[in-house]
Structures are given as structure tokens and as C-alpha cells.
Chain A
Amino acid sequence: EDQVTQSPEALRLQEGESSSLNCSYTVSGLRGLFWYRQDPGKGPEFLFTLYSAGEEKEKERLKATLTKKESFLHITAPKPEDSATYLCAVQAVFHAGKSTFGDGTTLTVKP
């Protein structure tokens, strides 16, 4: 069964203090790993797709990386508006259409 574990559950940073979020996964044949941002009471907002180990994607202060067992979401010089829950999800080649989500990391950035 596909599994996704995210750590830490919660992360509090000062504005400008860089850090990383971890997503460990177990899947039989990775089709893709996805990162989303979710604000309270809203639907997840798509950020990145990573397909193979060694791949990296960047968007503003966010950078996602992928290995064969885990993915990291690096946040450089975060701002208060980066506060949200960040979700990681995987799709397996043999479980078409189904994304398995982790429980998320709730990031709070204090000014």
C-alpha cells in the first residue's frame, strides 16, 4: 500500500529563517510526487510535480527536490504570507488516478 509521511507536523519560523519540510514515501512504481499548499478552509493549491530522483523544481522562495525515498520542500527566507499547510502526495503507476496524501506540515512564519 502506498504511504506518505510528512515531518515535522508543525514548524514555526521567524521571517527570513530558511528551513526544509520532509516527505517520505513508499510506493510501488512512482508516477509522480506532488506538493500542494492549503490555506485553512480552502482547497489545496498545486505547487510542483516531480517525476524522478534528482529532479528539482523552483517557484519564488520554494524549491522541491526528490530522491528515491523522500522529497524535500526548501523554503528560503520565508515571509508571513508563506504560512499554510504544505501537503505532499504520490501517484503510483499501478493505482491510476489515486493520489495518496500525507497529513501535511503546518508552517507558521512570524514577522
Chain B
Amino acid sequence: EAGVTQSPTHLIKTRGQQATLRCSPISGHTSVYWYQQALGLGLQFLLWYDEGEERNRGNFPPRFSGRQFPNYSSELNVNALELEDSALYLCASSLVYEQYFGPGTRLTVT
């Protein structure tokens, strides 16, 4: 069974630009979660999507947004990038409670 996939693996952007990160969940999973893991920090919850709707949001500014498509894949958009947005962005999917993570997208803002 294929796991959670994320693209791209690495992304380099300039401050002020926009970044789009993509995630495909495990087949049959309807919930997708996004987390930020900055260097030396723990995983911080960003967003939860289920059945196409945003269900919960962490303490991040509105320039972090996303959506879930009818096939349950998801997109995370980060507008007006700041240097401190540099981090590993992790996507997870679940059927019930356990969250299964993808390999992450390494975003570097210069």
C-alpha cells in the first residue's frame, strides 16, 4: 500500500514570494493534516482538512492557507514568505485517530 506522498521534496523561494506544497493521502484516508517542523523545534500543527472542509487550524497567520480536493489530496499555500517560514512541512493522513506522515517538503526562504 502506498504511503503519504508529498511534492516537491525541496523548494527554494525568495522572501515575499508564494509557495505551494502538495500532499496525496493514503488511499481510503479522508483526513489530511499539515505540520511545520522548524530546525530545532517540534512539530507545530497547522491545518486539518476532512471531506474537503477545513476542520481545525493552529496558531499560524492567515497567509498560511490550503485546501482539500475531491480526491482528498491537499495543497498548502504560504503567501508573503518570511525567512522564519523555512522549515520541513509535513503532511499526514488518517482514517480514524492515528496520523501517518509523508516524507515532507523542505522549504527554504532566502
Contact of A42 among B44, B56, B58, B103 (CB under 8 A): B103
- In which size bucket is the chain B interface? 20 to 34
* Complex alpha-carbon distance, A87 and B42, angstroms: 9
A97 touches B48 (CB 8 A): yes
Point out the residues of chain B lying under 8 angstroms from A95, CB to CB: 56
* Cβ contacts A to B, 20 pairs, < 8 Å: A31-B97, A34-B98, A41-B88, A41-B106, A42-B103, A43-B90, A45-B101, A46-B99, A49-B97, A91-B97, A96-B48, A96-B55, A97-B50, A97-B55, A97-B56, A99-B33, A99-B99, A101-B43, A103-B41, A103-B42
Size of interface on A: residues with Cβ below 8 Å to B: 24
Point out the residues of chain A lying under 8 angstroms from B88, CB to CB: 41
Contact of A96 among B42, B43, B56, B98 (CB under 8 A): B56
Point out the residues of chain A lying under 8 angstroms from B4, CB to CB: 43
* Complex alpha-carbon distance, A31 and B43, angstroms: 19
Point out the residues of chain B lying under 8 angstroms from A31, CB to CB: 97
From B91, which residue of chain A is reached at the shortest CB distance? A43
Contact of A100 among B45, B99, B101 (CB under 8 A): B45
Point out the residues of chain B lying under 8 angstroms from A101, CB to CB: 35, 42-44
Tell me the A residues contacting B by CB distance below 8 Å.
31-32, 34, 36, 41-46, 49, 87, 89, 91, 95-104
Point out the residues of chain B lying under 8 angstroms from A99, CB to CB: 33, 43, 45, 99
Tell me the B residues contacting A by CB distance below 8 Å.
4, 31, 33, 35, 41-45, 48, 50, 55-56, 58, 88, 90, 92, 97-104, 106
* Complex alpha-carbon distance, A34 and B98, angstroms: 7
A44 touches B90 (CB 8 A): yes
Closest Cβ of chain A to B80, distance in Å, is 25
B45 touches A32 (CB 8 A): no
For A44, A102, A104, which residue has the most chain B Cβ atoms within 10 angstroms? A44
For A41, A43, A87, A101, which residue has the most chain B Cβ atoms within 10 angstroms? A43
Closest Cβ of chain A to B97, distance in Å, is 5
